[in-house]
Structure 1
Amino acid sequence: MKTILIFMDTLNRHMLRVYNPEAKAVTPNIDRLAEKSMVFDKHFIGSAPCMPARRDILTGRLNFLERGWGPVEPYDVTLPQLLRAQGVFTHITTDHSHYTSIGGEGYMQQYDTWDFNRGQETDVWESRLEEPPAPRSYLGRVGRQYQWNRQHYKTDGDRPTPRTFASAVKWLKNNEDRDDYFLTVEAFDPHEPFDASEEFKAMYPDSFDTFYEWPRYDALNEQETPEAVEHLRNQYCATLSMADKWLGKLLDEMDRQDLWEDTLVIFTSDHGHMLGEHGVTGKNRYHAWNEMSRIPLFIHLPGGRNAGERAEGVTQNIDLFPTILEYFSREKEERMERAQRRKEQDKKNLAGRMFIPPDWSMPVQGRSLWSLLNREKEKIRDYAIYGWFGKPVNITDGEYTYFRAAANDKNAPLYLYAAGLTSFEQYLGCNLPGEDICAGYFLKNVPMPVFRIDMSRKTPEKPSMGLGENRLYRISHDPGQLHPLTDPLLEEKYCQALIKTMKEHDAPEEQFERLGLI
């Protein structure tokens, strides 16, 4: 049995023709994969951005109610761990540079083997003391490190995402005719900076002549004119088309090996990106608009069963954990016998990575998608909740979305819980007053003490970009979320649904107080 998870960072759903026939981006290989798959129409993020989204997938649990960006926790029971214990070989190839940064520890190391393709964004790859070549004038950001890294890129094939797909092709060739593996192919593109080779930029011509490929995370200013925003979107599309070309090489290898007959293939993203919609660029600092939180999901079933059909139930990335685990539960006993023989051989050779399954497990909050994939049910849940740590908690049933903001300007009480005290390129707790951090058995279902850090003092007292306001939208009629509704009865319905769903996800008690839900 085989599973290939293909993961493209910052992939805007509305830029794909399978979801938006008028989309500008040219992505024949994403379209090709969609034709072989069941397409999910109401798929949402759980936790965002990058590392929280990945922890969701690896654990089947929501990260954002307890902490923001951070490592795999020592108490996490991860999908690769459980698959390895069942005799499934796991491998990841990626160019996601945050895996090697402070705050990204432990993710690649969950796998038997991993391959990291260097050079994206802030990856400290090219080491120079002098200042790099830089454009004379530009909009948005220009990163010093990336300016040095990009000196390596003469063709599209030199760039990290193409090298990631090429690495996946090589891995499949090296392991042709093998069975019982879980391959994760994780491409950083089309994440910013939107840097593509000239071949792909030429596909989206415009007359804007100022360098602009790395947007600010803020409201548009007077320089970011409609022409500038259109150029930024063109840069995004070029980067996406370049990644699509190299995805095609992976699909070609799957064609050659006829992997479609016996392989589960999953394609999704972690979140989208604002490119001028709602007057902003970037992510993280605004309400979780659909452009960021409603993401693509395709699943190819072995043999092409139900290919081209659409699934309407509300789903999230936490659902991938139980779906993949259930798939590999078939033929488990035979595979376990093979795994035991491999372990015994590894022991003799003093090689290999021995893994002892934990004698406890965290309750999985995701729900298997097999009842949707097999057309046995139309939905697996009534509501999905999602968001960023410390920001509004959002809920949807696919018909409406409701953004529930903090009930006070101090965004309090708000605690971060973690055993690993790192976050995005920083250490937590080092510069806090003594009363702001303590340790104890604070988390339900976690069999060890964790740190609790008061984060309410770390957030602005005046939430920006409308984050202090509750919002209600009917996304079935208003997918762009341009027309907020005023309906107290409907809002109360979603408040009660939010309370119930947060409890199901083991939300810390103070989250209800922070949101004014008690």
Structure 2
Amino acid sequence: MKFKRVLPLYSIIKRTLLLVMCTFILGTVSATAPPDKSKVNKKYNVLFIAVDDLNNDLGCYGNTFVKSPNIDRLATRGVRFDKAYTQFPLCSPSRSSLLTGTRPDVTGIYELQTHFRKNLPDAVTLPQLFKNNNYFSARVGKIYHYGVPNQIGTNGLDDSISWSKRVNPIGRDKAEEAQIKNLTPERHLGSALCWRATGGTDEEQTDGLIATEAIKIMEEKKNEPFFLAVGFFRPHTPYVAPQKYFDLYDENKVPLAIEKENDLADVPEAALFTKPSHWGLDEQKRREAQKAYYATVSFMDAQVGRLLDALDRLKLSENTIIVLWSDHGYNLGQHGQWMKQSLFENSARVPLIISVPGQGGKASSRTVELLDIYPTLAELCGLPAPKYLQGKSLTALLKNPAATWDKPAFTQVKRKDFMGRSIRTERWRYTEWDEGKAGIELYDHQNDSNEFTNLANDPKYSETVKELSVRLRKNYTTNTSEVIIKE
């Protein structure tokens, strides 16, 4: 009986020892096996989509006339910021501010000719930060300033040290410039209401080529972390796109801007960029220009769709942060104004969508700035942001779009001899021209979203004017350029 009891115990011990040995051997083999790169590399990629002169006339922002299915699709997987603002409604000043993370009064860029490195030689730009931290940093198309259409296909005012690779596509839109119809012939093509519906395919246009080249980079770099900046030229004038995008819109149904009689009677002269109103164009020509603008929006949107499809096809969507932004807004006849370079809402407000894997389908009504993009991406990707950045990370709003937030947005624009400066809170827009000497404006967006009534000189709002003026002046008297040099 004793023998029979001992034998099973011996068998159990033997089997247990064998199991322990097998587990140790398998663990050793597993530890020394080549790692699965797809699991080891958990760094976020960044797809950084810049759109030139795009306002908020998009489906996801409530415009039911404009067809933008792909940007709308992006909004369902990201956070849509409903009150996002440029720091300067002109291409180079805006882009220089966003990409250096500093305000225009620090970059010193107020026009289209000066390179920001002249004033900030030691600044670490947003793409440069990624490049310095072992990301493949690439640019396709317009990220820093280009003169449009003259500099398409060149490096423009690009910053070479920001990138590992640069690509400058040039399409048939550039080759066929002579066929563009200019409704304002006294103005050059880059600042005119002018358009052309072309033949051919999307891929023959500059923006189509930009999408193609960007997709090639995704395919080549899918197994390593990348910061891929894709800069589309449309809808910047000249409004050029294949005919099929023009066919999406009935010119006679284009919703022209709401106008009010004597609207400009209480507006300072300095506030106006388009003089005379609508540059003298009649209603039919304005419809023609606005239809062309929307056609190029839809064309550009289709290229965004190609990028999103490529991310999904390459299985990169689950590990890629997507940011879509425009350098400034765009007037389409509001207050008789066209294009940018004003401090009205349509010129200052921009579309901004940030998609982080696992977060999406939300909207935030907090006032944010393009300046906030740099610190946001640095935090999301765990990179050491420069201490001098003047924006604020939006990560709290990405997690909770309604989170407590008391940061206003500041926008400025230069007139010949002085500056106009504006502060936007969730309710108010307050603007001073030449520190108030050339006029002030106050609009209550809670009751007057079209900014038809200037309340600045109404005694009932004197305390609001005083409070906003103090906040506005405090912002632009703070200059941190010395900090950048020390960095």
Residue of structure 1 aligned with 2:93, choices 39, 52, 56: 52
State TM-score, norm by structure 1. 0.70
- 1:394 paired with 2:422, answer yes
Tell me the secondary structure at the aligned position of residue 186 of structure 1: strand
State the partner residue of 2:74.
33
CA distance in 2, matches of 1:394, 1:198: 39
State the partner residue of 2:281.
224
State the partner residue of 1:19.
61
- Equivalent residue pairs, number: 400
- 1:328 paired with 2:381, answer yes
Q: Percent identity over the alignment?
A: 25
State the partner residue of 1:282.
339
Given the superposition, is the C-alpha separation of residues 292 and 115 from structure 1 closer, same or farther in structure 2, using an over 3 Å criterion?
Answer: same
Q: Please give the residue correspondences for 1:314-353 in structure 2 after superposition, counting only pairs within 5 Å.
A: 314-329=367-382
CA distance in 2, matches of 1:392, 1:146: 21
- 1:163 paired with 2:238, answer no
CA distance in 1, matches of 2:319, 2:436: 53
CA distance in 2, matches of 1:108, 1:252: 29
Q: Please give the residue correspondences for 1:149-228 in structure 2 after superposition, counting only pairs within 5 Å.
A: 154-176=200-222, 178-206=223-251, 217-220=274-277, 223-228=280-285
Given the superposition, is the C-alpha separation of residues 235 and 97 from structure 1 closer, same or farther in structure 2, using an over 3 Å criterion?
Answer: farther
Instruction: Give 1:40's aligned amino acid.
Output: F
- 1:105 paired with 2:157, answer yes
Q: Please give the residue correspondences for 1:221-370 in structure 2 after superposition, counting only pairs within 5 Å.
A: 223-284=280-341, 286=342, 288-303=343-358, 305=359, 307-329=360-382, 363-370=388-395
Q: Deviations over 1:319-363 (max 9, x none)?
A: 111111112227x9xxxxxxxxxxxxxxxxxxxxxxxx9xxx661
Q: Deviations over 1:417-466 (max 9, x none)?
A: xxxxxxxxxxxxxxxxxxxxxxxxxxxxxxxxxxxxxxxxxxxxxxxxxx
Q: Shift in Å at residue 175 of structure 1?
A: 1.9
State the partner residue of 2:53.
10
State the partner residue of 1:416.
none
Q: Deviations over 1:74-115 (max 9, x none)?
A: 132212222222111111111579437699534354111111
Q: Shift in Å at residue 479 of structure 1?
A: 1.9
- 1:82 paired with 2:124, answer no
Query: In angstroms, what is the RMSD of aligned CA positions?
Result: 3.4
CA distance in 2, matches of 1:84, 1:275: 38
Is the radius of gyration larger for structure 1 or structure 2?
2
Contact preservation (8 Å) 2:88, 2:348: no
Instruction: Give 1:82's aligned amino acid.
Output: L
Residue of structure 2 aligned with 1:72, choices 108, 113, 116: 116
Q: Shift in Å at residue 300 of structure 1?
A: 0.8
State the partner residue of 2:450.
480
Given the superposition, is the C-alpha separation of residues 5 and 379 from structure 1 closer, same or farther in structure 2, using an over 3 Å criterion?
Answer: farther
- 1:91 paired with 2:138, answer yes
Q: Shift in Å at residue 226 of structure 1?
A: 2.1
Contact preservation (8 Å) 1:72, 1:106: no
Instruction: Give 2:85's aligned amino acid.
Output: F
Q: Deviations over 1:277-315 (max 9, x none)?
A: 10122222x3x1111111111111113x2x111222221
Q: Shift in Å at residue 375 of structure 1?
A: 2.4
Contact preservation (8 Å) 1:46, 1:317: yes
State the partner residue of 2:397.
372
Given the superposition, is the C-alpha separation of residues 161 and 146 from structure 1 closer, same or farther in structure 2, using an over 3 Å criterion?
Answer: farther
Given the superposition, is the C-alpha separation of residues 43 and 205 from structure 1 closer, same or farther in structure 2, using an over 3 Å criterion?
Answer: same
Q: Shift in Å at residue 39 of structure 1?
A: 1.1
Given the superposition, is the C-alpha separation of residues 103 and 93 from structure 1 closer, same or farther in structure 2, using an over 3 Å criterion?
Answer: closer
Contact preservation (8 Å) 2:89, 2:347: no
Tell me the secondary structure at the aligned position of residue 203 of structure 1: coil
Given the superposition, is the C-alpha separation of residues 297 and 408 from structure 1 closer, same or farther in structure 2, using an over 3 Å criterion?
Answer: closer
CA distance in 2, matches of 1:327, 1:207: 46
CA distance in 1, matches of 2:197, 2:60: 35
CA distance in 1, matches of 2:339, 2:328: 11
Q: Deviations over 1:132-166 (max 9, x none)?
A: 4565x84456757999x989974332111121112
Given the superposition, is the C-alpha separation of residues 207 and 81 from structure 1 closer, same or farther in structure 2, using an over 3 Å criterion?
Answer: closer
CA distance in 1, matches of 2:201, 2:92: 29
Structure number having the greater helix percentage: 2
Instruction: Give 1:54's aligned amino acid.
Output: R
Q: Shift in Å at residue 119 of structure 1?
A: 5.4
Contact preservation (8 Å) 1:45, 1:386: yes
CA distance in 2, matches of 1:393, 1:506: 18
Tell me the secondary structure at the aligned position of residue 241 of structure 2: coil
State the partner residue of 1:493.
467
